[in-house]
Structure 1
């Protein structure tokens, strides 16, 4: 377990001049102090006691502990997008067209145009954002069936010799001299050699060897039309997929096209209907062997429902108004295991409609076009997880019931009392850190507005405003790098009755024998603590005040997160910080900041790590 310790803000002791130095040294401190405005709300104060002291009771592990609960003929591109080009591989025989048709990949660098920004994209649109899905099929795969127009290389040697490239004719044959026509149409590529060899053997029974090779398939053109960005006629092969041709046309129009109503039309008749939802959910894709001048028609978009929230697939989903159910749509969206309820919004009878139902009732929901469903996790877990930083002898996290108090968890913690500083225990809380971050942003907005909108009445004032604005912008960037810690100070209160929140982290600092001195001192350093030494003596040991230091502006940060002005005794682990004086030579905006830093920090109950 890592040791809990207080991380301090150290500043440069160099003798810098002007407002830049103030900005660099105190920018982060200002951000830290701003956080305390809201962070102080997290100070726990308990007026009643439970009969136990805040530090006297031992921290031990009880006997009962439950730590766990468990995307040739082409119509003119209307927007000038680059047309596809074939990426050639190694030589496969034949001319360029044949190479293109025998399995080379088509590169479509700009085939899919950018779509308008939508709140949710339609389900299925992800297909056409994945370049791997626009690859062409390999026309010479073993299961490819020979068709008219295909080119086949045939070679014979031995008692008879022959070497030629033959084209499958309209009757599905190739013609071999002295042998005659050989029927090859419909034969698979893997069976082609045996088919030709057996025909040759029927005439030449001995000492004739035969070799065949399918060089390429007959190119064809397929029309892609309907709700696609670039309707047109696109080249391809018989076995290229529907997705390939759709990608060549720019995919499906995300505003008007349907991903569930795609038809393949041949001579006026529909030969296949494709629902891409079935492809995405079950891998179902009709086997379509294209013919020249087939058409792929993308229908108009069906009614849609937008599903968002605690789901794995946030999209707009098309549905069939007559048959689709809420449970079918939810199955596509895949709700997270923690999801419990659905907020349904839409229009019914011309009026706004809202309902909030458990997911168990989603099966009876009848979707309507334009509805939106937000899935939520609206049930609290029976347990919360509390972490411990500084629990060297036991577990660093506990799963405990809700409404568990800090004192109950403290008894589960095993620590070494000779090393742990129990009196300085504090809490890190996520909800406090969030409020502190919001405070930072609001304060930075007000600072920028006050500086950037200030009026100038002269050229000199204008020049000063420009310099101030530049410094503030750099200052704002520095502050935004600060991550709020969400520290809750418990010192001086009976913290045992404090209710815990999920994600809380109990921090038990290590004991320290040193005192840190930083800020506007000549030699910032860490020294050994000595009893009854004054703040001034520690500052003198750090070389005394720098020329910018203000003896009346001293802050002492304790290891438990509390802060005082140096009027109290110094403890082990304290951090003495000397603030700068508001010099008359600096910009007025920074003089104001120094004053605010001092006053806000003194009243703070939460101090964050600003490293």
Structure 2
């Protein structure tokens, strides 16, 4: 239990750095859900299918004679029928073979009818190479689909191209395949596979992404110049609550990332003319569902809160001298204004001049009037992520988390409430003290062991432990506080609806797509979440246990920061921790050192 508590504390302090939610690559979901049929399963067989060695056929004859016979075409391409002898069928289509056999039977029998069917197609081997998860040789039928072949190989990797797949024949000829028309409903390409064909998936070269208020947010591969309009079409078009007045493009630049604003309603054909570049990120905002026609008053004033906005509304219409508190700073206040471009403008003004109408300020919808204190600075918090109006907010005494979220416009549709990250400065300070205490205790133990031991192996281990403790001392702490936003309709007034403090930070993530596996596994990894999969599924994906794994010490660090030993309940964003078992080492203290080495190693890696 002590091991779990220690590692949980350390992972809790650093867990936020494990997750940076990313969009999925368009088309990846198909291969995670594809259902493969046996290569010997007979489905639709085209009439123009060419028969060859290994095909199994059924001949049915009726009339003056009745025959029903199943035959396999031999290596020479022949079948053997009593009274007719050897008959060569290889290279003929089903239609040609049916007519040929009908003519042969008509020479021997009168008034007979014949039917020919393919009961099992011959099997061939093809090679699947490049950016697939399980490259190798696979047994298929000549009319297997390209999706089935790629599915057998585990699908395309995140780095692979879905638009420049090559089918290379033995004679060197190629057939190029683009999967996007398949995903968009245009049907499967017509492909007939031949023995020893190579299916090659190259690296994808150019990608752009789109997120927000579109029907299919994702990362898309581009093989030719693509405009914003074409990318929006790829993504299924706008949602009904998309804010189309402004579209943001984030582009990589030599000096870093830069923001490009597009205003379709102002710039004619802007979406059709703007050509995207490799790595561009397009963001489509949602129309706010919050009250639009309102004014916010915050800070050191008698009645902070929301006020109705109307035409020709001024500061003096909602604030008077009777609203001032003894410590209200009347000489300077601020209005934070949201522009149509999405940017914010800060207007500083004299509060007393505005109230006395000496120099009043005309207000616009959603203006935030921030009034400061003479004696103490304003208390501020930050809210970010999947929230309608992220940013820094001034809080008033007694304000709760639910109130802040409401003022920030509420959540976007992409918000993943179980993963909320709430950090607090005072908690961070306490965590830092606890970590410092832990490091000092272990340093004392190491010094005593260094004076006791004469073993070179133990001395080397102690020196390594000292180095790792120094690295741990330099690692940051977060001050995370566990809060549960679900169910949101019951959150207001609940235990998690805590009072806010100056410096609090709230981040609302989008839904993660991975489960992390760390500790004593052969290949610690972030594994794509699979609904219903248990802990063994993820551990196997991470290469299974190492020889030092403590298989009785496995637990889950949930995305909300809590620890659980329920190994059947795995959610997106969870971390599966496999403990370390110190075997065959003399002395309890040395075992503790080994255990500490393991914990520290997990963090610094």
Question: Is the pair's TM-score, using the shorter chain for normalization, greater than 0.5?
Answer: no
Structure number with greater Rg is 1
Q: So what's the TM-score if we normalise by structure 1?
A: 0.42
Higher relative contact order (CA 8 A, sep 6+): 1
